[in-house]
């Protein structure tokens, strides 16, 4: 997970009356399925992470989860982990308008440059290239700030 918070166990909470039996596969196929049986008087069972995530390996279990027959706690951590494992979002990078970027550099707009670097991994390389091409047009303070932001030496000797 990106925030490095990993839960070893999740609680399955039954939301329906009566009994409920779940045959949970290990999401990573590391072991055989685990049968979880909620008797009529049991509402919560703790299961290892690998089996809780297995809910999304089996279509029937996924449907039962989405229909609310049971839930998983802590829900916020579980849903985030499920999203990262089963529905990863590809890093989307926008095309960078080099003229606009050059304008930000020449005007000393550090806020926009930081924003570009944060939101677009390709921007860093483009900024370094543009700074080195236009080094004579940038203020010394701007160059020093960019070196700190980018963590790279922009003024190369013998140029």
In tens, the pLDDT along 122-146 reads 677 777 778 888 888 888 888 888 8
Does 49 lie in the same domain as 20? yes
* Number of Cβ atoms within 10 Å of the Cβ of 89: 7
Instruction: Give the predicted TM-score (pTM) of the model.
Output: 0.52
φ/ψ (deg, to 5) at 79: -65, -35
Do 48 and 73 have their domain in common? Answer: yes
Same domain for 14 and 58, yes or no, is yes
The closest of 117, 29, 119, 21 to 70, measured between CA atoms, is 21
| Listed residues 62, 86, 110: the one ending a domain | 86
Q: What is the pLDDT of residue 142?
A: 85
Q: What is the DSSP letter of 152?
A: S
> By residue range, what is the domain housing residue 126?
98-150
Phi, psi of 156 (to 5 degrees): -100, 125
Structural domain includes residue 2 = no
Question: What pLDDT, on a 0 to 100 scale, did the predictor assign at position 3?
Answer: 41
**pLDDT higher than 70, residue 94:** no
pLDDT of 112 above 60:
yes
| pLDDT above 90 coverage of the chain, percent | 32
């Amino acid at each position: 997970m990106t925030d490095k918070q990993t839960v070893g166990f999740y609680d399955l909470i039954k939301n329906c009356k009566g009994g409920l039996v779940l045959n949970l596969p290990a999401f990573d196929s590391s072991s055989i399925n685990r049968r979880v049986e909620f008797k009529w008087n049991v509402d919560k069972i703790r299961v290892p992470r690998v089996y809780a995530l297995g809910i999304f390996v089996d279509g029937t279990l996924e449907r039962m989860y989405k229909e609310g027959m049971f839930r998983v706690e802590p829900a916020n951590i579980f849903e985030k982990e499920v999203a990262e494992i089963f529905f990863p979002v590809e890093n989307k990078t926008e095309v960078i308008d080099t003229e606009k970027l050059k304008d930000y550099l020449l005007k000393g707009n550090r806020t926009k440059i930081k924003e570009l670097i944060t939101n677009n991994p390709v921007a860093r390389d483009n900024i370094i290239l543009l700074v080195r091409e236009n080094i004579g047009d940038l203020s010394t303070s701007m160059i020093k700030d960019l070196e700190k932001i980018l963590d790279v030496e922009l003024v190369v000797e013998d140029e």
